[in-house]
A and B are shown apart, each in its own frame.
Chain A
Amino acid sequence: MDPVSTLPTLFGLAWLLPLVSFALIVLFGPRMGKAGIKAGYVATGAILASFVLSAFALFFVWLPNYDLPAEAHPATAESSAGGAHAGEVEHAAPREKPAITGDWYTLGQFGSLRITIGYYIDSLTVLMFVMVTFISTCIHFYSFGYMHEELEEVTDHEVTLPGGDHLRRRGRFHRFFQYLSLFCFSMLGLVIAGNVAMMFVFWELVGICSYFLIGFYIERRSACLAANKAFIVNRVGDFGMIVGMMIIFATLGTFAFGDVDADGDGTPEPGIFSQVRTPANHHALVVPDGMVKAAAVDKIAKGAEPTPENIQAWREQMEPGGIGRYAYWLWIVAGLGIFCGCVGKSAQFPLHVWLPDAMEGPTPVSALVHSATMVAAGVYLVGRFFPFFTPEVLVVIAIIGCITLFIAATIAITATDIKRVLAYSTVSQLGYMMLALGVGGWSAGMFHLITHAFFKSLLFMCSGSVIHAVHTNDMTKMGGLRHKMPWTAYTMLVGCLAIMGAGVPFAIGLSGHYSKDAILAQALSFKDANPRLGFLFYVAAGGAAITAFYMFRLWFMTFAGEPRDHHRYEHAHESPKVMYYPLVILAVMAIVTGWSIFGFGVQPLLEQARPAGILAEAQGVLWTGLVHPDEHLSHLEEFHVSSTWVATMTGLVGLFLAVVFYGVRMLDPAEVCNQFKPIYNFLMGKWYFDELYNIVFVQPLLFVARRVAEFDRQVIDGIIDGMALVTMIVAYVEDFIDRYFVDGFVNVFADWTYGIAVWFRGAETGRVRQYVMFIVVGTVVMFLLITFYLNYTFAGS
Chain B
Amino acid sequence: MQSSYATLLSLIVFLPAAGGLALAFFPREKTDAMKMFTLLVTAAVFLLSVVMALPGDGGGWQFDAAVSEMQKVFSISWIPSFNIYYFMGVDGISFPLVVLTTFITMLSMAASWTIDKHVKAYCILFLVLETGVLGVFLALDFFLFYVFWEVMLLPMYFLIGVWGGPRREYAAIKFFLYTLLGGVLMLIAILILYFASDLTLLSKDQLIAAHVVSPALAAEEQDAQVAEIKNSAGAVHTFNILALQQLGQHTDAFDGIILGKSLQWWAFLLLLIGFVIKVPSVPLHTWLPDAHVEAPTPISMILAGILLKLGGYGIIRICYPICPHAGYDLAYFVCALGAVSMVYGALAALAQKDFKRLVAYSSVSHMGYVVLGIGVWTAVADYQFNPDAWKLGMNGAMFQMIAHGLSSPGMFFLVGVIYDRVHHRNLDQFGGLFAKMPVYSGLAIGIFFAGLGLPGLCGFIGEVFVTLSVWKYSYGLAVVAASVVILTAAYILWTLQRVYLGPEYKGPHGDHLTPMTTRELAIAAPILAFAIILGVYPQAVFHYMTPSVNRTVDELAAWTEREEPAVAKTARSAPAGAADALAQDNSPEHAGDKRQLP
Contact = CB atoms under 8 A, between A and B. Distances in A.
Q: Do the two chains touch directly in the complex (Cβ atoms below 8 Å apart)? A: yes
Interface of A: 106-108, 110-113, 115, 159, 161-162, 167, 169, 197, 200-202, 204-205, 208, 211, 215, 218-221, 224-225, 227-228, 231-232, 235-236, 238-239, 242-243, 245-247, 249-250, 253, 263, 269-270, 275, 278, 289-290, 293, 297, 300-301, 303, 305-306, 308, 311, 701-702, 704-706, 708-710, 712, 716-717, 720, 724
Contacts of B539: 106-108
Listed from nearest, the 6 A-B pairs whose CB atoms lie closest are: A308-B598, A111-B388, A709-B351, A705-B350, A246-B471, A201-B455
A108 B465 contact: yes
B344 interface: yes
Contact of A111 (B456, B497, B591, B597): B591
Most buried by A among B348, B483, B546, B550: B348
B121 interface: no
A110 B455 contact: no
Contacts of B177: 724
Given A218-B434, A705-B348, A708-B351, 16 more contacts: A108-B542, A111-B391, A111-B589, A111-B592, A112-B589, A201-B456, A219-B432, A221-B503, A225-B497, A228-B493, A232-B489, A239-B486, A253-B594, A269-B595, A305-B573, A708-B347
A205 B455 contact: yes
B139 interface: no
Interface string B580-598: 0000000011011111011
Interface string B465-509: 101101110000011001101100110011001001111100000
Contacts, number: 179
Contact of B470 (A113, A246, A278, A701): A246
Nearest to B396: A108
Contacts of A289: 597-598
B449 interface: yes
Contacts of B454: 204-205, 208
Nearest to A26: B442
Contacts of A159: 503
Most buried by B among A200, A311, A708: A708
Interface of B: 174, 177, 283, 285-286, 289, 344, 347-348, 350-352, 382-383, 386-389, 391-392, 395, 432, 434-435, 449, 454-456, 460-461, 464-465, 467-468, 470-472, 478-479, 482-483, 485-486, 489-490, 493-494, 497, 500-504, 538-539, 542, 546, 550, 566, 569-570, 572-573, 588-589, 591-595, 597-598
Contact of A242 (B434, B455, B467): B467
Contacts of A708: 344, 347-348, 351
Given A236-B486, A311-B598, A720-B286, A243 B478 contact: yes
A537 B28 CA distance: 86
B471 A218 contact: no
A308 B351 CA distance: 53
18 contacts: A108-B539, A110-B588, A161-B503, A162-B504, A167-B504, A200-B455, A204-B460, A208-B454, A218-B501, A219-B502, A224-B497, A242-B482, A243-B482, A253-B594, A263-B592, A301-B569, A709-B351, A716-B285
A246 B595 contact: no
A232 B490 CA distance: 6
A231 B493 contact: yes
Nearest to A712: B348
Contacts of A112: 388, 589, 592-595
Given A228-B497, A303-B569, A306-B383, A110 B351 contact: no
A463 to B, nearest CB: 26
Contacts of B486: 232, 235-236, 238-239
A702 B483 contact: no
Contacts of B566: 301
Nearest to B284: A716
Nearest to A225: B497
A633 to B, nearest CB: 32
Contacts of A308: 598
Contacts of A201: 455-456, 460
Most buried by A among B177, B464, B546, B588: B464
A269 B592 CA distance: 13
A708 B346 CA distance: 10
B465 A702 contact: no
